[in-house]
Amino acid sequence: MATAKEIKKHLNIALKEVGEINPWFDKNFNAWIFSHKNYPDVEYAGESSEEVIKNYPLYLRDFIEERLNDNLAAHIEKATKGHGGKREGAGRPKGSKKEAKKRVYLPKDVAEWFEQPSAIPQVRQLIAKEKH
């Protein structure tokens, strides 16, 4: 259980990260809304900008309390950069060239013939002869 002092300490840090609370009006919801990229799961909507400015810190406090008490789902705490598991240095090196490819469905016996190492050069020779 997080203490009130600990929650207040973390809330002050979070409010410094958030900075000034500037709500915007959303015409789709007909409400004033505020959220921050550092705390995307904490969002408040109200009838006036003053209400949002007043109540957003209360919602942020509840979120921090739940975080300190380990009551948040794993997907909420998971921080990603949106690269789907991309690792530093993974993948094809910059500047490397790769042949363009196209997926084609072939009869099984023809597809098995194409799996042979010498098949692609043979087909290219046939294509070159046809062009001339």
| Rounded mean pLDDT for each run of 10 residues along the chain, 132 residues in total | 89 91 93 90 92 94 88 67 60 77 91 90 90 78
Distances (CA, A) of 88 to 81, 82, 85: 12, 14, 10
Q: How far apart are CA 25 and CA 95, in angstroms?
A: 46
Q: Given this model, what pLDDT does residue 32 score?
A: 95
Q: Given this model, what pLDDT does residue 86 score?
A: 61
